[in-house]
C-alpha cells in the first residue's frame, strides 16, 4: 500500500507500575528481546525509522540507549500523565518543526509487542478506506478484564461511539467483550485538535487518549473499529505473568516454524528458542534445550537435553550431549561435545573433533580430528589436527596480569594431568608425559617429561606396619 501519508508514534514512556519492577516496562524481555524492540521491528516493516517517533519518559535515557540503534526518533514526556498526554508530546515534536506532521498517524503501544506488520498494514488500509478520523484496532479475548471496551453504535456496524476504561465501566458495559488494543490510526489534524480538550476527571486522574473517540464522534467525525484476526497479537503486557504468557506464545510460534522446516523438537513447550535462531532440517532437539541470540545449527545434528547455546554457529552432523553451555562458539561438522562441556567465546572446534566431559575452552582453535575428552581447560590456545589432549590437562594462560598463548602442533599427544604454562609452543608430533608441568617449548617430535622421577622402596609397607605394631605395644 502507499504509506507516504503515514508516520508512526509509539507510546513507551510509562513506568509499568503493575510490574513492581525497577526496570522500565518496555525494556522487559519476551522472546529474548525487549518489548519495545518488538514493536519497533513491526513498525519498521511498515515505515522507515526516520518516520517513527517513540515517546519516552520514565527512565528515558535507559530506554533510549536500548533502542537508539534502530534509528527511530524520540519525543520526551517528562511527566507521565497518561496516553493522551503522551500524544501531546508527539504533537510538540512535530510543532518543533524538525519534521512536518503526517496526514495520518498510526499509534502503537510499547507494551503490545506481538503486533504483526500485516495487521499494521490492515488497520492503515481500513482507515483510508473508511475515511475515518480515528480507527481503533480491537479484539475479542476470552477475558477482557483490564482493557478499555469498545462501545459500538450497533454490533454489526464498524462505527464506534466511545471507548470506556475498565474502571469506569457500568454494569451493562461490563458485558462488552470487545477490547481496545491500544493501537490506532488517526487523521493527525483531527487527533491534535482534540488533545487540548482532554481532562483528568477519571479513575486514574490521567489524560486518556481513548477519550478522543467520543470527542470526535461528538464533532460528527467518523470513528471505526477494525477487529484483529488473531487475539494473541494484541494482548498487552502489564504484569510479569502476562509477559510470560506472551513469551510462551512467541516461542511456540518459533518452534512451530522450525518444525515446519523439518526440525524435530521433542516436548517443544519446554524449549526456549529465540526467533532469530536458525536450525537445519533433520536436526533433533531434545526437551529443555535453549537456543538463543544469533545461534545457527546445521542439519542432522542432535542437541541433547539441558544444553544452552547462545550466539554460536554449529555445522551439520554435530552432537551436543547433555548439559553443554556454548557462548560465541563455532563448531565444525561432525564434532561431538559434552556431556557438560563449556565453550566460551571464540572457541572454534574443528571437524569431527571432540570436547568432552567437564572441559572448558575459551579463545581456542582446535583442528580437525582432535580429542579433548575429559576435565580439561584450554584458554588462548591453538591446537592442531589429530591431537590427543589427556584428561585433566590445563593451559595456564594467565600470569595474574596478562594472557599468554599456547600452541600445540598437529598429532601431539599430551599426557593426562599436564600443566602447560604459557607462553608455550609444543611442536608437531611431540609427546608430553603424563603429570608434567611444561614451562619450556618442546620441539617437533620430542618427548617432554616435566615431573620428578618416581622412587619405589621395596618392602617399605611391611616394615612400616611392623614398626607400628611394636610402637603401640598391642
Ligand atoms: C491502554 C488503554 C486501554 C487499552 C489498553 C490496551 C488508555 C487510557 N487505555 O490501557 O483502553 O485497552 O491500553 O493495552 O489509553 N504511556 C506513555 N505515557 C503515559 C502513560 C502511558 O507513554 O503517560 C505508554 C505506556 O508506556 C504503554 C502505553 O502507553 O506502553 C499504554 O499505557 P498503559 O498505562 O499500559 O495503558 P493501559 O492501562 O494498558
Ligand atoms: Ca498496557
Mean pLDDT, residues 330-335: 98
- Which residues neighbour 190 within 8 Å (Cβ) at sequence distance 6 or greater? 133, 134, 216, 221
pLDDT at residue 203 in the model:
94
Q: How far apart are CA 429 and CA 416, in angstroms?
A: 16
Provide the whole-model pTM.
0.88
pLDDT at residue 371 in the model:
98
What residue ranges of the chain are covered by domains with CATH 2.160.10.10? Answer: 359-454
Q: What is the pLDDT of residues 72-105, one digit of tens each?
A: 999 999 999 999 999 999 999 999 988 999 999 9
Q: Compute CA distances 61 → 6, 58, 68, 227, whole Å.
A: 27, 9, 10, 35
User: Which ligand minimizes its atom distance to the CA of 179?
Assistant: 1
Nearest residue (by CA) to ligand 1, atom 31, is 109
DSSP state at residue 62: H
61 Cα distance to chain centroid: 21
Residue 191 in contact with ligand 1 by CB distance below 6 A? no
User: Which ligand minimizes its atom distance to the CA of 210?
Assistant: 1
Q: Return the CA Rg of the chain.
A: 32
pLDDT at residue 472 in the model:
58
DSSP 361-391: EEEEEE-TT-EEEES-EEEEEEE-TT-EE-T
Given a cut of 60, whether residue 473 has pLDDT beyond it is no
Q: What is the pLDDT of residues 245-278, one digit of tens each?
A: 999 999 999 999 999 999 999 999 999 999 999 9
DSSP state at residue 300: S
48 Cα distance to chain centroid: 23
Q: How far apart are CA 112 and CA 14, in angstroms?
A: 13
Fold for domain 359-454? UDP N-Acetylglucosamine Acyltransferase; domain 1 (2.160.10)
- Closest ligand 1 atom to residue 12 Cα is 26
Residue 12 in contact with ligand 1 by CB distance below 6 A? yes
- Which residues neighbour 401 within 8 Å (Cβ) at sequence distance 6 or greater? none
Are 105 and 196 in contact by the 8 Å Cβ rule? The answer is no
Q: What is the pLDDT of residues 388-428, one digit of tens each?
A: 999 999 999 999 999 999 999 999 999 999 999 999 999 99
Q: What is the pLDDT of residues 149-205, one digit of tens each?
A: 999 999 999 999 999 999 999 999 999 999 999 999 999 999 999 999 999 999 999
N-terminal to C-terminal alpha carbon distance within the chain: 102
Average per-residue pLDDT for the chain: 97
- Closest ligand 1 atom to residue 234 Cα is 14
Given a cut of 60, whether residue 474 has pLDDT beyond it is no
Give me the residue label for grid cell 615431573.
451
- Which residues neighbour 129 within 8 Å (Cβ) at sequence distance 6 or greater? none
Q: What is the pLDDT of residues 350-401, one digit of tens each?
A: 999 999 999 999 999 999 999 999 999 999 999 999 999 999 999 999 999 9
Identify the three-state secondary structure at position 198. coil
Q: How far apart are CA 455 and CA 449, in angstroms?
A: 16
- Give the distance (Å) from ligand 1 centre to CA of residue 182: 7
pLDDT at residue 470 in the model:
85
Q: What is the pLDDT of residues 457-471, one digit of tens each?
A: 999 999 999 999 986
User: Which ligand minimizes its atom distance to the CA of 146?
Assistant: 1
Q: What is the pLDDT of residues 282-322, one digit of tens each?
A: 999 999 999 999 999 999 999 999 999 999 999 999 999 99
- Give the distance (Å) from ligand 2 centre to CA of residue 168: 16
194 Cα distance to chain centroid: 39
Residue 182 in contact with ligand 1 by CB distance below 6 A? yes
Active site residue 374: yes
CATH number of 6-234: 3.90.550.10
Which one from 28, 38, 127, 374 is the annotated catalytic residue? 374
- Residue 450 CB neighbour total at 10 angstroms: 17
Amino acid at each position: 500500500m502507499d504509506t507516504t501519508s503515514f508516520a508512526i508514534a509509539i507510546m513507551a514512556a510509562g513506568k509499568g507500575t503493575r510490574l513492581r519492577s525497577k526496570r522500565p516496562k518496555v525494556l522487559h524481555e519476551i522472546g529474548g528481546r525487549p518489548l519495545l524492540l518488538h514493536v519497533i521491528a513491526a513498525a519498521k516493516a511498515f515505515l522507515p525509522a526516520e518516520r517513527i517517533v517513540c515517546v519516552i519518559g520514565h527512565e528515558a535515557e535507559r530506554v533510549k540507549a536500548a533502542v537508539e540503534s534502530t534509528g527511530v526518533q524520540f519525543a520526551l514526556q517528562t511527566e507521565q500523565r497518561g496516553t493522551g498526554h503522551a500524544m501531546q508530546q508527539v504533537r510538540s515534536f512535530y510543532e518543533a518543526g524538525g519534521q512536518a506532521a503526517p496526514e495520518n498517524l498510526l499509534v502503537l503501544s510499547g507494551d503490545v509487542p506481538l503486533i504483526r506488520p500485516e495487521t499494521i498494514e490492515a488497520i492503515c488500509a481500513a482507515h483510508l478506506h473508511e475515511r475515518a478520523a480515528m480507527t481503533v484496532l480491537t479484539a475479542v479475548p476470552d477475558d477482557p478484564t483490564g482493557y478499555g471496551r469498545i462501545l459500538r453504535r450497533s454490533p454489526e456496524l464498524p462505527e464506534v461511539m466511545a471507548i470506556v476504561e475498565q474502571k469506569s465501566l457500568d454494569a451493562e458495559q461490563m458485558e462488552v467483550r470487545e477490547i481496545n488494543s491500544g493501537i490506532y490510526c488517526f487523521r493527525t489534524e483531527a487527533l491534535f485538535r482534540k488533545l487540548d480538550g482532554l481532562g483528568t476527571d477519571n479513575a486514574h486522574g490521567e489524560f486518556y487518549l481513548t477519550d478522543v473517540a467520543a470527542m470526535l464522534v461528538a464533532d460528527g467525525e467518523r470513528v471505526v473499529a477494525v477487529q484483529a484476526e488473531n487475539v494473541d497479537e494484541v494482548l498487552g503486557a502489564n504484569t510479569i505473568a502476562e509477559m510470560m504468557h506472551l513469551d510462551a506464545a512467541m516461542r511456540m510460534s518459533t518452534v512451530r516454524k522450525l518444525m515446519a522446516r523439518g526440525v524435530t523438537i521433542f516436548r517443544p513447550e519446554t524449549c526456549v528458542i529465540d526467533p532469530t535462531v536458525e536450525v537445519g532440517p533433520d536436526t533433533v532437539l531434545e526437551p529443555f534445550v535453549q537456543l538463543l541470540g544469533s545461534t545457527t545449527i546445521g542439519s542432522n545434528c542432535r542437541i541433547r537435553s539441558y544444553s544452552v547455546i547462545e550466539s554460536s554457529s554449529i555445522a551439520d552432523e554435530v552432537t551436543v550431549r547433555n548439559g553443554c553451555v556454548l557462548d560465541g562458539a563455532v563448531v565444525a561438522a561432525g564434532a561431538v561435545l559434552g556431556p557438560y562441556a563449556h565453550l566460551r567465546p571464540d572457541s572454534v572446534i574443528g571437524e569431527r573433533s571432540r570436547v568432552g566431559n567437564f572441559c572448558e575452552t575459551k579463545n581456542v582453535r582446535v583442528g580437525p580430528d582432535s580429542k579433548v575428552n575429559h576435565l580439561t581447560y584450554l584458554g588462548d590456545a591453538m591446537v592442531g589436527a589429530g591431537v590427543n589432549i589427556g584428561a585433566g590437562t590445563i593451559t595456564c594462560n594467565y600470569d595474574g596480569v596478562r594472557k599468554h598463548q599456547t600452541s600445540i602442533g598437529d598429532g601431539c599427544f599430551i599426557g593426562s594431568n599436564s600443566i602447560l604454562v604459557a607462553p608455550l609452543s609444543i611442536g608437531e608430533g611431540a609427546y608430553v608425559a603424563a603429570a608434567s608441568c611444561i614451562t619450556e617449548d618442546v620441539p617437533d617430535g620430542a618427548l617432554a617429561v616435566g615431573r620428578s622421577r618416581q622412587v619405589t622402596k621395596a618392602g617399605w609397607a611391611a616394615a612400616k606396619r611392623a614398626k607400628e605394631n611394636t610402637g603401640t605395644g598391642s
